[in-house]
Every structure is written in C-alpha cells, then in structure tokens.
C-alpha cells in the first residue's frame, strides 16, 4: 500500500482511519451458519468458535485460513528513557534487537514452533525521539511519515499479522498516551514495563508522565496530536500497520501495552477501526488490563508475561490456527 503525504498530513491520516472498510458480511454469515452446524451442543467450542467467525469476517473468506502468519516487531527508543524511567536503555535495546535478528529471542522460538514469520522493523533505535517532558516526540510530517512506514511494513501478504514493540522508554510513552486519552493518575499508568520491578523507577516514571502532560497541556484534544507529541516512532508505526492490515483484510493480534496504546489512539478517533484486532496476551500489569478494557479487548491468553515483544502474539497464532482448523474440519456433532 502506497501512502502519499500531502500538505496537511494529519488530514490524510484521519481520512484513512475514518474510511476503513467494514468486515465481509457474507463470510461472517457463512461462518456463523457453519459454526451453528458443528457446535452441538451449543457453545461447546467456546472462544474457539468466536475466533473462527472473527477470522472469517475479517479475512473475507469462509472457512478462514492461516497459511502465512507474520509477527512484526517494531524497535525504537525514546528520549524520556534518560530520565531514569526504565530498567534498560539504548544499549539494552540494541542487545534485544540483536537477539531477535539472530534468532535467539523468545519470540523467535515461538514463531518457529507455530510456523509464523518474524519481521524486525528498526525505527532508528540509535536515535531516540526527543524527551516528551519538554518537547514533542515527532513533528506532524515525521509522525505521518512514520505512520506510512508502518503501513508499508505489512507488505508481504500475510493472512494474519501480530504486532509488538521493543525499545527503551516505550512503555513510559504508552503510559503517557493512555493518561492523555483516558485520564486517571500517572502512578497507575506507570505500572507497565520494566519499571514496575523497582519502586524508584516507578516514581521517576510517574513524574515524567506528569511532566509530559503539563508540558503539552491544551494541545492534546486530537488523538493524532497525542500520538505525535507523546508517542514515538514505534507507536505511530504500529498504528499505521493496524490500518494497513484493515485495508488488506488481514486480522491483527496486538501484543503488549505499547501496541495497545497505538490501537487506543485509533480507537479514540473511530472505535470500529480496530474491530479487526484482538489482544493476544495480557501482561501482569494492571495498566495493560485497564487499557485493553478501554478499547474493548479481552486477551486470548494470560500467561503472566511482562513483555510485548511479539511473544504473546506468536502464541496466539497457535490458538487461532486451532480455531480455524476446528471450524473447517469438524463434522456435525463430532467432538
């Protein structure tokens, strides 16, 4: 998908978000009829039945098929990390990227096990975005360009895509976005990422979140301004990937707190524009659970995982494959 940035880049983004196509009604109805025939007694397949129907509706085909799933992990870094809000910084981000690109990350193992492709998209992690406590993370033009770059990341015709994020300061940025969109307290939304393991980091993170909201006060009514002022390259790119997938009839699995924050920005503009998304695995942080609740998503898995690096999305692929297989292969009344 090619996206051209015009003189008013946010107008283009808003139009893309507001004009997303609806699900395929015919495939949805066929899937419901198919499920009614095989799920006897009613409800026997539980969540698997719901997922199969969801897949059919958004892929535009019945039965649903998952032959080419892909996990896309966006890697970036945030200047706010220099304020002592994270247990790891840019060097650790580089190490994480090296582990993923060399096949040694946790997500690599799961993706390989479930037959899922893995794509690492580096968003200049060696160049942190400006500190959001005293400036905007991105200009409007750069934000729109990064959104467009995220759209292009979904370009290899997958039939299912999972999105995750790695990077220093990412959850602080996502927490600030969450507070701007939904209110509450900085200390609550700070319960995300590596900082939660160390009380002093949570305090520093809360202070940074509050400082960012004060600095940008009066300029956050538009969710796109929230994205470019408080987000970063990763949050903008994930939002772009989500929208690109919608236009290409590709269901999306959200992995982690940062990806959920990207979806929340889109949801704040048009709630239905993330109906093609599900939450893969919830982390053990209350802030992540609260954010998923705000955007109307119930996680498929709850494994006590702390990261949103695509690991949970890859595991969710196995569940979705099982749902599609049951929907396709089970005979009437056969369990």
Assess contact for 260 and 162: CB atoms under 8 A. Answer: no
Q: What's the pLDDT score for residue 288?
A: 93
Instruction: Give the whole-angstrom CA distance, residue 229 versus residue 34.
Output: 47
> Residue 335: pLDDT above 50?
no
87 pLDDT higher than 80: no
136 vs 7: CA distance, rounded Å: 20
Name the pLDDT band for 90 (thresholds 50, 70, 90). confident
CB 285 within 8 Å of CB 197: no
In the chain, count H helices and then E strands: 14, 7
Q: Which long-range contacts (CB under 8 A, 24 or more apart) does 269-275 make?
A: 269/14, 269/17, 269/18, 269/223, 269/224, 270/17, 270/18, 270/20, 271/296, 272/20, 273/17, 273/18, 273/20, 273/243, 273/246, 274/242, 275/23, 275/58
Percent of the residues in the chain that have a pLDDT greater than 90, as a whole number? 78
pLDDT at 144 over 60: yes
> Is 1's pLDDT higher than 80?
no
| 67-321 topology per CATH | Rossmann fold (3.40.50)
pLDDT at 36: 85
What does the H/E/C string look like for 57-111? HHHCCCCCCCCCEEEEEEECCEHHHHHCCCCCCHHHHHHHHHHHHCCCCHHHHHH
- Write out the E strands in 173-286: 252-254, 277-279, 281-282
Question: What would the pLDDT profile of 278-321 be if each residue is shown by its tens digit?
Answer: 999 988 778 999 999 999 999 999 887 667 789 999 999 999 99
Work out the average pLDDT over 195-210.
84
- pLDDT surpasses 90 at 35: no
- Per-residue model confidence (pLDDT) at position 6: 57
Binning pLDDT at 50, 70 and 90, where does residue 191 land? confident
Q: Which of 112-116, 173-177, 186-190, 305-309 has the lowest mean pLDDT?
A: 305-309
Q: What is the mean pLDDT of the chain?
A: 91
Q: Judge whether 252 and 140 are in contact, CB under 8 Å.
A: no
pLDDT of residue 3: 54
Q: Any idea where the domains of the chain sit in the sequence?
A: 67-321
> Any idea what the Cα angle at residue 45 is, between residues 41 and 48, rounded to 5°?
155
On whether the CB atoms of residues 234 and 204 are closer than 8 A, the answer is no
Mean pLDDT of 102-109: 92
Contact between 87 and 285 under an 8 Å Cβ cutoff? The reply is no
Q: What gap in Å lies between CA 54 and CA 60, rounded to an integer? A: 10
Q: Which helix (H) or strand (E) holds 120?
A: strand 117-122
User: What average pLDDT does range 39-66 have in this prediction?
Assistant: 88
- 197 falls in which pLDDT band (50, 70, 90)? low
Q: How far apart are CA 236 and CA 249, in angstroms?
A: 20
Q: What is the pLDDT of residue 99?
A: 92
For residue 174, what pLDDT is reported?
96
Residue 146, both tokens: 């990064």
Mean pLDDT of 79-85: 92
pLDDT digits (tens, 9 = 90+) for 168-185: 999 999 999 999 999 999
Joined together, the tokens standing for residue 310 give: 């695509």
Q: Give the residue-averaged pLDDT of 78-103.
A: 89
What are the tokens at 270? Answer: 């048009």
Write the burial class of residue 186 (CB in 10 Å: 0-12 exposed, 13-18 middle, 19+ buried): buried
Task: Write down the pLDDT at residue 40.
Answer: 59
- The pLDDT tens digits of the residues spanning 240-249 come to 999 999 999 9
In angstroms, the Cα distances linking 224 to 213, 229, 248 are: 15, 8, 22
User: Which of residues 118 and 198 earns the better pLDDT score?
Assistant: 118
The H or E element that residue 122 is part of is strand 117-122
Bridge partners, 73 (sequence order): 120, 164
């Amino acid at each position: 998908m090619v996206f051209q940035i015009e003189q008013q880049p946010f107008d283009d983004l808003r139009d893309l978000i507001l004009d997303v196509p609806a699900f395929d009604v015919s495939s949805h109805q066929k899937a419901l009829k198919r499920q009614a025939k095989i799920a006897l007694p009613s409800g026997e397949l539980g969540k698997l039945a719901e997922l199969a129907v969801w897949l059919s509706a958004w892929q535009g085909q019945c039965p649903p098929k998952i032959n080419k799933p892909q996990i896309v992990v966006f890697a970036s870094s945030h200047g706010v990390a220099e304020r002592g809000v994270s247990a790891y910084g840019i060097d650790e981000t580089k190490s994480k990227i090296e582990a993923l690109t060399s096949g040694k990350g946790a997500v690599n193992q799961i993706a390989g096990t479930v037959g899922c492709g893995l794509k690492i998209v580096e968003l200049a992690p060696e160049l942190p975005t400006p500190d959001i406590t005293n400036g905007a993370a991105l200009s409007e033009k750069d934000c729109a360009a990064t959104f467009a770059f995220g759209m292009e990341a979904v370009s290899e015709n997958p039939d299912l895509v999972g999105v995750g994020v790695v990077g220093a300061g990412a959850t602080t940025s996502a927490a600030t976005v969450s507070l701007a969109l939904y209110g509450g307290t900085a200390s609550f939304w700070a319960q995300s990422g590596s900082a939660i393991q160390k009380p002093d980091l949570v305090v520093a993170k809360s202070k940074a979140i509050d400082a960012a909201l004060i600095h940008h006060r009066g300029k956050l009514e538009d969710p796109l301004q929230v994205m470019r002022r408080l987000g970063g390259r990763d949050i903008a790119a994930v939002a772009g990937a989500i929208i690109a997938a919608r236009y290409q009839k590709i269901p999306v699995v959200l992995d982690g707190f940062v990806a959920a924050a990207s979806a929340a920005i889109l949801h704040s503009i048009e709630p239905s524009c993330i109906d093609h998304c599900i939450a893969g695995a919830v982390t053990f942080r209350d802030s992540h659970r609260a954010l998923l609740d705000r955007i109307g998503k119930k996680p498929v898995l709850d494994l006590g995982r702390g990261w949103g690096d695509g690991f949970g999305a890859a595991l969710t692929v196995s569940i979705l494959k099982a749902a599609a297989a049951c929907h396709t292969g089970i005979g009437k009344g056969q369990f």
